[in-house]
Structure 1
Amino acid sequence: MDHAERLALAALRYWATRVTQQAWEPPEDAAAAAHLWRTAWLAAGGSAPADSAWPPLLAGPLASVFSLLQGEGAPSPSVVVQPQALLLQREVLFPQAAGKVVERAAVVAELAQALDDLDRRGLPLAAQVEGVLFALQRYAWALPSPLAGVALYDFARTHAALAAALSDDEVCLVGGDLSGVQDFIYSVSARGATKQLRGRSLYLQLLTDACAHAVLAAAEMPLSNLLYAGGGRFYVVVPGAFAAELPALRKRLGDLLFKAHYGELYLALGGASFAPEGYNVAVWNELSEQLEQDKRRRFAALDRDAFKKLFDPKQPPPPRPEAEGEEEEPLDAMAESLQKLGELLQRASVLSVQPGKGHTLHEGERTFYDVLNALGLASRLLVDEQEYRPSHGVRRRLLKLADESEVTGMGPHDLLGLRYTAAEAPRATAKDVGQYEKLERTRKDDQELREGHVKPFGLLAAQSRGVKRLGVLRMDVDDLGKLFGNKEGGIKRPDGIAGLVVTAALSGALARFFEGWVGELCRRANERGDGGVIAVYSGGDDLFLVGSWHLMPGLARQIREDFAAYVLGHEVASSEAPPITLSAGIVLINAGYPLYQAASDAAEALDAAKAHDRPTGRAKNALTFLGRTLGWEQVGETVALCEQLGALVGSGAPRALLMSIQRIDANAQQTRRHTRTGEVQFSYGPWVWQGAYQLTRMAERAQGKESKEAIQGLRERLVGSEGVAQRTIERAGLAARWAQLLLRERGGDEG
Structure 2
Amino acid sequence: MRFCRKLSGRGGLMEQERFAWKCLLHALRPYGPPEVWQASFGPDMETALSEEEQALLRRASGIVVGTAKLDASESGLLSIFDLLDGGTPCRMFRPDAVECFQCPAEQAVRPAEKREWMQRCLDELKAADGRIEPALEVCRQQLSYYPSGIPGVSLYQKARLEVCLACCMREAGRESPFLLVSCGLPGIQKFLYTISGKGVLKSLRSRSFYLDLLEEHLMTELLDRLHLCRAHRLYVGGGSSYAVLPNTDRTRETLEACLRSVNQWLLKRFSGALQFLYAWEPCSGPQLKNEGGTAYQEIFARLENKLNQKRNRRFDASGLTWLNSQEMSDPERECRVCAGSSLPLDGDDLCPVCREFRDSSSGLAAPGKVAAVCRAVWEEGGTPLTLPSLDGQDWFVYMMDRAQAERLRAEQPGTVVRVYAPGSGGNADIPLPLGAYAYTIDEKMATFEGLAACSKGIRRLGVLRADVDNLGRAFVSGFHRRLQSGETGSGLPLTASLSQQLTQFFKVHLQTILQGTEGPVDPFHLVWNEAGKRSPRKAIVVYAGGDDLFIVGAWNEIVELSVDLYRAFRGFTGGRLTFSAGIGLFSPHYPLYAMAEDTAILEDAAKGIDAGKNGLALFGLELLPDAGGSVRHVARHLYHWDTFIEEVVTEKLYLLERYFEMDRKEQNGRGSSFLYRLKNYAEQLDRTPGQTINVARFAYLLARMEPKKDKRELSDLYHEFSTKLYQWIKDAESRRQLLTAMELYLSLIRTSQEKGEEQPYGE
For residues 367-418 of structure 1, the C-alpha deviation after alignment (integer angstroms, 9 at most, x for no partner) is: 6334368579864422352454163644765454334x6x7xxxxxx81464
Percent sequence identity over aligned pairs? 25
Separation in structure 1 between the aligned mates of residue 230 and residue 109 of structure 2, nearest angstrom? 36
With normalisation by structure 1, the TM-score equals 0.80
Contact 1:461 1:468 in 2 (8 A): yes
- Gapped regions of structure 2 (runs ≥ 5): 1-6, 289-295, 338-345, 377-382, 518-522, 524-532, 621-636, 665-669
- Gapped regions of structure 1 (runs ≥ 5): 48-53, 322-326, 359-365, 408-413, 430-451, 569-577, 673-682
Separation in structure 2 between the aligned mates of residue 70 and residue 135 of structure 1, nearest angstrom? 32
Equivalent position amino acid for 2:22 in 1: A
Separation in structure 2 between the aligned mates of residue 159 and residue 208 of structure 1, nearest angstrom? 24
Residue 383 (1) aligns with residue 365 (2): no
- CA 1:702–1:401 in 2, change beyond 3 Å: closer, same or farther? farther
Separation in structure 2 between the aligned mates of residue 472 and residue 142 of structure 1, nearest angstrom? 34
| Corresponding position of 1:516 | 508
Residue 623 (1) aligns with residue 626 (2): no
Residue 144 (1) aligns with residue 144 (2): no
- CA 1:655–1:719 in 2, change beyond 3 Å: closer, same or farther? same
Separation in structure 1 between the aligned mates of residue 675 and residue 272 of structure 2, nearest angstrom? 50
C-alpha deviation, 1:85, in angstroms:
2.5
- CA 1:240–1:42 in 2, change beyond 3 Å: closer, same or farther? same
Separation in structure 2 between the aligned mates of residue 106 and residue 40 of structure 1, nearest angstrom? 26
Separation in structure 1 between the aligned mates of residue 83 and residue 276 of structure 2, nearest angstrom? 33
Residue 296 (1) aligns with residue 288 (2): no
- Residue number among 164, 168, 183 corresponding to 1:161 in the alignment: 164
Q: What secondary structure sits across from 2:214 in the alignment?
A: helix
Within 5 Å, which residues of 2 pair with 1:454-603?
454-487=445-478, 495=486, 498-524=490-516, 532-568=538-574, 578-603=575-600
| Corresponding position of 1:117 | 127
C-alpha deviation, 1:666, in angstroms:
2.5
Within 5 Å, which residues of 2 pair with 1:393-432?
393-394=413-414, 398-403=419-424, 415-416=428-429, 418-429=431-442
User: After alignment, is 368-377 or 59-68 more displaced?
Assistant: 368-377
Contact 2:83 2:479 in 1 (8 A): no
Contact 1:175 1:287 in 2 (8 A): yes
Residue 308 (1) aligns with residue 311 (2): no
Separation in structure 2 between the aligned mates of residue 332 and residue 507 of structure 1, nearest angstrom? 37
Separation in structure 1 between the aligned mates of residue 393 and residue 155 of structure 2, nearest angstrom? 31
Within 5 Å, which residues of 2 pair with 1:658-677?
658-670=675-687
User: After alignment, is 210-219 or 459-468 more displaced?
Assistant: 210-219
| Corresponding position of 1:63 | 78
C-alpha deviation, 1:158, in angstroms:
1.5
Equivalent position amino acid for 2:616 in 1: L
Separation in structure 2 between the aligned mates of residue 14 and residue 660 of structure 1, nearest angstrom? 74
Contact 1:70 1:492 in 2 (8 A): no
Residue 108 (1) aligns with residue 115 (2): no
Separation in structure 2 between the aligned mates of residue 493 and residue 136 of structure 1, nearest angstrom? 30
| Corresponding position of 1:446 | none
Q: What secondary structure sits across from 1:130 in the alignment?
A: helix
Q: What secondary structure sits across from 1:68 in the alignment?
A: helix
Separation in structure 1 between the aligned mates of residue 374 and residue 191 of structure 2, nearest angstrom? 25
- CA 1:113–1:563 in 2, change beyond 3 Å: closer, same or farther? same
Contact 2:234 2:242 in 1 (8 A): yes
Separation in structure 1 between the aligned mates of residue 24 and residue 480 of structure 2, nearest angstrom? 32
For residues 69-114 of structure 1, the C-alpha deviation after alignment (integer angstroms, 9 at most, x for no partner) is: 226xx5x5231110122333x4xx3222214557122321221111
User: After alignment, is 170-179 or 546-555 more displaced?
Assistant: 170-179
Separation in structure 1 between the aligned mates of residue 691 and residue 672 of structure 2, nearest angstrom? 27
Separation in structure 2 between the aligned mates of residue 670 and residue 312 of structure 1, nearest angstrom? 53
C-alpha deviation, 1:301, in angstroms:
5.9
Residue 329 (1) aligns with residue 338 (2): no
Equivalent position amino acid for 2:445 in 1: V
Equivalent position amino acid for 2:475 in 1: F
Q: How many residues align?
A: 665
| Corresponding position of 2:358 | 339
- Residue number among 201, 208, 229 corresponding to 1:194 in the alignment: 201
Equivalent position amino acid for 1:308 in 2: N
| Corresponding position of 1:731 | 737
Separation in structure 1 between the aligned mates of residue 723 and residue 368 of structure 2, nearest angstrom? 56
Q: What secondary structure sits across from 1:585 in the alignment?
A: strand
C-alpha deviation, 1:338, in angstroms:
2.2
Residue 635 (1) aligns with residue 653 (2): no
- CA 1:352–1:311 in 2, change beyond 3 Å: closer, same or farther? closer
| Corresponding position of 2:601 | 604
Equivalent position amino acid for 2:159 in 1: A
Q: Once superposed, what is the RMSD of the aligned Cα atoms?
A: 3.5
Separation in structure 2 between the aligned mates of residue 490 and residue 428 of structure 1, nearest angstrom? 51
Equivalent position amino acid for 2:698 in 1: G
Separation in structure 1 between the aligned mates of residue 264 and residue 709 of structure 2, nearest angstrom? 71
| Corresponding position of 2:90 | 78
Separation in structure 1 between the aligned mates of residue 165 and residue 302 of structure 2, nearest angstrom? 19
